[in-house]
Structure 1
């Protein structure tokens, strides 16, 4: 998924100095951002209060939207570097096309995982004959330095491991939870899991005390370690936890995101993750060239690709993981 802001900010993220080594509660709300022709997302990362959770560096939550008479998601070809994109749906379908030749239709609770590495371009569209609803999340994972120039590739995993307990069902999107390991490729210690709780259910999730965690409410309302979390909110939990108490106020769907604090500092601008402003400028110029440079071409998409917006006029200033 693309960041379609016409004047995106450049951000320096990462480093461990602002990561809480003890459990905390930071309730973050999303910023409304238009995406494509008819979709509006709630952008929860980067946020004014928090820029990363482990290697997770970007979180958009959208829907549920009634797209019965709408085109749904229509995001033209755009580039990525230095990251992985994670497509996660609760309702609808999204057709992925990329410049290494991948074509796949991602459906609810299937993992669409694109490793951009050195450079890739892709498009995302609701199929012409789509269902009435679109609801999901798009997430990015920053690649550590030793893997950020890896060859780009796409993975589609229709079947993922599950964990069950009374009143709770968990699908492991990436990483490992309670002994269940996702088949998706990871390059740093992290976890992502989709949690479904029945109304009134209580459960306790096992956690790694070395990870920092956050919980995004996709639907319903739940108490997470005693804090009410509703759709459009992200609760940052810090580190130092061995377990997480959950209680569903209504039938609820949550996303658990976690990972070891990301030690390297990264520069994020538009759809690029790099280490310096100079690398961002090089990637932008390559994509905006007539040939799209090393990003390649997305075949099968009917329409023009998105051009990268102008760089900000001021130099980048490191601001750490939070402010």
Structure 2
């Protein structure tokens, strides 16, 4: 019994925690852009094995569910409907067989996540079900979803209400998205990269004072930033070095590029900064035209913030598990 894609939405793909450990082979991570939103969507449907979810951008897909299905929506707020009934986000819903879920546009933010109980039964490539759209690796030959695609649900543990689910059911409680979604547009934390000192004095100051705009050319590989041109003191001739999501590069155009989930594993542009990993999910929710600015941080502070978020997230995951057990 399948989940049928009636309309694919914009850049909808299967994503999990990423394809880690293969950079030496030239294979990047991919994976969910907003990692906490992906993880919490899975938790709400009681998935605990890193199951893949659907990630969609700006506009969501329309899907038909041939069997009763437990779902959760997280990430950016999206207009979600089954027939004339509106579905809330950040909670769990049970869809009866034959339901058509319509996910429309996002009021703000950029990426949403749809998890289903048991995940999706697609083959893992190098240990991950993530779709690397740039490298063409993963489900559906590494492409985004298209109309007519069929997704088979994975084998989750039985959940008693499903056999008798004939009407849409919404769980009585949900999560507050506020701590996990960047409503405030506060500055992103960046520490100085290996080539920061090669920027001229004006550009060094501008990096932490200027406001940039996310370019329409941004994608899962990188966020391109338009705004004040940054300049080097003198041209640099560099060999390619390792790069990771969050690396801030400066191409000859003078407009910075922040690498994202599908970042190449090497690159030859000057590395003028590194975004704190804890802020990658916040960057992922900026849409074209949104502003981006940076505050200076250190490696130690970035590590402490990441550890603190992991602790908060784990406490919430434990709370969700207890609530579901008592439901």
Q: Which has the higher helix share?
A: 2
Q: Judge same fold: TM > 0.5, yes or no.
A: no
TM-score, normalised on structure 2?
A: 0.33
- Given the two structures, how large is their TM-score scaled by the length of structure 1? 0.33
More strand by share: 1
Greater gyration radius: 2
